A and B are shown apart, each in its own frame.
Chain A
Amino acid sequence: MSVSVIEAKDLSKTYEAGRTEVQAVRDVSMTINKGEFTAIVGPSGSGKTTLLNLFGGLDTATSGSLSVVNLDISTLSKRQRADMRLYYLGFVFQAYNLVPVLTARENVEFVLELQGVGDERSDRAGEVLEELGLTEFADRRPNELSGGQQQRVAVARAIASRPRLVLADEPTANLDGENAEILLTMMRRLNTEHDITFVFSTHDPRVVAYAQRVITLVDGCVDKDEIKNAGSC
């Protein structure tokens, strides 16, 4: 039996842009189970970022219900949503994910410090970087890393706190094919080895190929929801 990590029911988000209203997400219902590796695709403006922000509690829905890691988001305060992200979720964005003045290791450590991890956080950060083959970059600052390396450090940071769910908004958009492939392979490995659920948005058909499940959004609505054979690429 699979355990759900995200459960959305009739989820909608409406933005007010001047006089007009933009329905970025409309009546989205979906369940994402533990261990899934899901891609959210769709044309620009179809609501991918909005949906991921709702999942992460960075934005609040206009209507509908949403439960993430078994927490009913609508009942959580801003502070509780921050705690939910800190302890259960990881985030990766398109670019500029890392704190520029901290080294790769310190970026990872920072999240552990926020969690209240004590003296062992430096070692733990080192272990995570090592596991992902990033040891040689540990003491470099983001501006001394390539875009691909930065994104890999960002993934390391996202999983350092052993989250249940990692949300990634177009993590490969700024990467070339080779780096996109390295990143996706890494994410997939973490998905299978640590049973971390991944939900990522993308435009790139080559990235989509890595996904186990592909949800297509059009105009804020779920247009297609296909489950492929696990691990096929």
Chain B
Amino acid sequence: MKINLSAKYAIRSLSRHLRRTILSVLGIGVGCGLCLFTIAFIRGEKKMMIRAAAESGAGHLTVAPKEWVNTRDNDLRLENWEAKRREIAAIDGIRIVTPRVQTDALLAFGTRMRGILMTGVDPPTEPVANRLVQKLVEGRYLESGEIGTVVVGRTVVKRLNVALDDDLMVTVAGQDGQMSSAMLRIIGIIETGSRELDGTICHVTVEQVEKLTGQQGATQLTILLENPKSLETMEEQLRNRMGNSAAVLDWEELLPEMAAGVEGDETWSRMIVLIIMTVVFLGIASAQLAAVLERRREFAVLSALGMKSGRLVLIMLMEGVVLGFAGALLGLSLGAPTAYYVATKGIDFSGLYGNAEMSMSNILFDPIFYGDFGWWLVPLSFVLALAATSLSSLYPAWYAARTDPARALQVEQ
């Protein structure tokens, strides 16, 4: 098999100016590698944020009363929550289902007091669904059906100037607006490392909330999936099962701020990729234009021999594709190992946050961020590099094609 002469011509022209070609390939490779790294990092960050959100209590999916979706009214209760819970728990691919019920409460100790959103939980399943509970540093967590006990965050303890085993006076507004109070003993203290987050933690049993508010049942069922990738199909399935009796929300609907944050980061990564690729594009375009200017006479002779502009554009595009191919390989060899490192070792941001854990919208993040890594890097690299180089060859090609051969022959003769 003979390779097409035009291809040979394109490749040899590139190797004739080896220095320029190497610089071009370096430019494409470094740019492409940077893009791969950025995209891998942001993809990983997104996965992590979703995981952090899900495991910080928000779950992958939440089942709540229909009305709750818009009002977020904590006085609403799910119909037959226990039956629903059993039904959902039986579905394949569900890691855990845990009920929650919340109420505004006033915590008081002596002359100090503090308003807080108190959460009624199911003690056996809550620690599985909520990584905050795993940060219990003093005492113990709640037990099933327990009444008269509370687990709070470190900041609550500090503000109220209390300690383990102290009794807090808890007041809530009951169903009919009547005040209802109880003395709850602090049996456990949670310290996530985030002061803000630790100021929001106040866990009691579902039964305790029922007793205080006089209202039976739970408001939400929080669901963690075995595999977060099945989110959409699971959501669909649950919606069908719940029908009209309850709404199903995913984490994006539950935490719109977080969803906006994730989307913001993705927009950033797209911008960065766009900027890098634009720089690469301009660099290659100017290098290719220089190559064309240098070969004006060569092209003029060929066009005198009857070569049409289409062929010339093809030759220039081939040069671009060869550059792009080499650049993509270099980009992969730079980007993939860095992405792999960040995917396995992670980047530690704890220094940035003064060794404290990071939190946002009541979500606890790991200070170490892991990127994503996979085969998708390979096609992405080629798409990026080839798009940049073939596009950047077009202008020089067009310029060369419209050069008047008689002029070009005259100039340098």
**B352 in the interface (beta carbon within 8 A):** no
Q: Is the CB of B301 within 8 A of A101?
A: no
Q: Are the CB atoms of A111 and B306 closer together than 8 Å?
A: yes
Residue of A56, A114, A157 touching B311 (CB-CB under 8 A)? A114
**A102 contacts B305, CB within 8 Å?**
no
Write out the residue numbers on chain A whose beta carbons fall within 8 Å of the beta carbon of B410: 49
Q: How far is the CB of B390 from chain A (nearest CB, A)?
A: 21
Chain A 74-102 per-residue mask, 1 if CB under 8 angstroms from chain B, else 0: 00000100111111011101111101111
Contact with A82, one of B9, B15, B308, B412 (Cβ below 8 angstroms): B308
Residues A101 and B305 in contact, CB atoms below 8 Å apart: no
The residues of B that contact A91 with a CB separation of less than 8 Å are: 301, 304-305
Interface residues of A in 18-68 (CB under 8 A from B): 49, 53, 56, 58-59
* Interface contact A93-B413, CB-CB below 8 Å: yes
User: How near does chain A come to B215, taking the closest CB pair, in angstroms?
Assistant: 84
Which of A56, A89, A91: most chain B Cβ within 10 A? A91
Q: List B residues 244-263 near A (Cβ within 8 Å).
A: none
Chain A, interface size category, equals 35 or more
A137 at the interface (CB under 8 A from B): no
Chain A residues in 8 Å Cβ range of B412: 96
Instruction: Find out whether the CB atom of A101 lies under 8 angstroms from the CB atom of B5.
Output: no
Bound: A119/B409 CA distance, A: 31
Against B, the Cβ 8 Å flags (1 = close, 0 = not) of A92-125 are 0111110111100010011101110001001000
Q: Does B95 sit at the interface, judged by CB under 8 A? A: no
- Within the assembled complex, what's the spacing in Å between the Cα atoms of A41 and B150? 110
Residues of B contacting A: mostly: helix
CB pair A86 B305 closer than 8 Å? yes
In whole angstroms, how far apart are the Cα atoms of A121 and B413 in the complex? Answer: 30
Whole-angstrom distance between the alpha carbons of A100 and B413 in the complex? 16
| In the complex, chain B residues 285-341 whose Cβ is within 8 Å of any chain A Cβ | 297-298, 301-308, 311
Q: Tell me which residues across on chain A come within 8 A of B305, comparing CB atoms.
A: 85-86, 90-91, 111, 114, 157-158
CB contact under 8 A between A99 and B302, given known A106-B5, A110-B9, A114-B307: yes
A56 to B300, CA, bound (A): 13
Complex Cα spacing A102 to B4, Å: 13
Cα separation A58 to B13 with both chains bound (whole Å): 25
What separation, in Å, do the CA atoms of A58 and B16 have in the docked complex? 29
Residues of A within 8 A of B9 (CB): 99, 101-102, 110
Interface presence of B86 (CB below 8 A): no
How many Å lie between the Cα of A91 and that of B410 in the bound state? 15
Q: With the chains together, A91 CA to B307 CA distance in Å?
A: 12
Residue of B8, B311, B406 near A102 (CB, 8 A) is B8
Q: How far is the CB of B315 from chain A (nearest CB, A)?
A: 10
> How many residues on chain B are close to A (CB under 8 Å)?
27
- Distance between A101 CB and nearest chain B CB, rounded to angstroms: 4
Which interface residue of B13, B306, B406 has the most chain A CB atoms within 10 A? B306
B307 A82 Cβ-Cβ under 8 A: yes
- Complex Cα distance A113/B314, Å? 14
Contact A113 B6 (CB under 8 A): yes
| Known A82-B307, A86-B306, A102-B12: A113·B301 in contact at CB below 8 Å | no
Bound CA–CA A99/B304 (angstroms): 13
Contact among B5, B12, B301, B307 with A96 in the assembled complex (CB-CB below 8 Å): B301
Chain A residues with CB under 8 A of B302: 99, 110
Residues of B contacting A83 with CB < 8 Å? Answer: 306, 308
Chain B residues 364 to 413 lying within 8 A of chain A, measured CB to CB, are 405-406, 409-410, 412-413
Chain A residues in 8 Å Cβ range of B304: 56, 58, 85, 91, 93
- The answer to whether B16 and A101 have CB atoms under 8 Å apart is yes
- Known: A82-B307, A86-B306, A119-B2. Is A97-B301 also a contact (CB below 8 A)? yes
- For A59, what are the chain B residues with a Cβ–Cβ distance below 8 Å? 406
User: Scoring A residues 213 to 233 as 1 if CB is less than 8 Å from chain B, else 0, what string do you get?
Assistant: 000000000000000000000
Partner of A113, one of B5, B12, B308: B5
Complex Cα distance, B302 from A49, in Å, reads: 17
A106 is contacted by which of B8, B303, B311, B413 (Cβ under 8 Å)?
Answer: B8
Query: A56 contacts which chain B residues (CB < 8 A)?
Result: 304
Shortest CB–CB separation between residue A196 and chain B, in angstroms? 15
Query: Are A87's CB and B301's CB within 8 A?
Result: no
Structural contact, A100 and B306, CB atoms closer than 8 A: no
Q: Give every chain B residue within 8 A of A87 (Cβ-Cβ).
A: 306
* A90: chain B residues within 8 A (beta carbon): 305
User: A82 with B303: in contact, given A93-B413, A102-B5, A114-B311 (CB under 8 Å)?
Assistant: yes
Known: A58-B409, A59-B406, A109-B5. A114 touches B306 (CB 8 A): yes
Q: A35 to B342, alpha carbons, bound, how many Å?
A: 75
B302, B305, B307 interface centre (most CB from chain A within 10 Å): B305
Minimal beta-carbon separation of B220 from chain A (angstroms):
71
Given the complex of chains A and B, what is the CA–CA distance between A83 and B305 in angstroms? Answer: 9
Q: Which residues of A contact B5 (CB under 8 A)?
A: 102, 106, 109-110, 113
Give 6 A-B pairs besides A58-B405, A113-B6 with Cβ atoms closer than 8 angstroms. Answer: A58-B406, A58-B409, A86-B305, A89-B306, A91-B301, A113-B4
A-B contact pairs, 11 of them (CB 8 A): A82-B308, A85-B304, A90-B305, A91-B301, A93-B304, A95-B413, A100-B16, A102-B9, A106-B5, A114-B306, A158-B305
Residues of A within 8 A of B (CB): 49, 53, 56, 58-59, 79, 82-87, 89-91, 93-97, 99-102, 106, 109-111, 113-115, 119, 122, 157-158
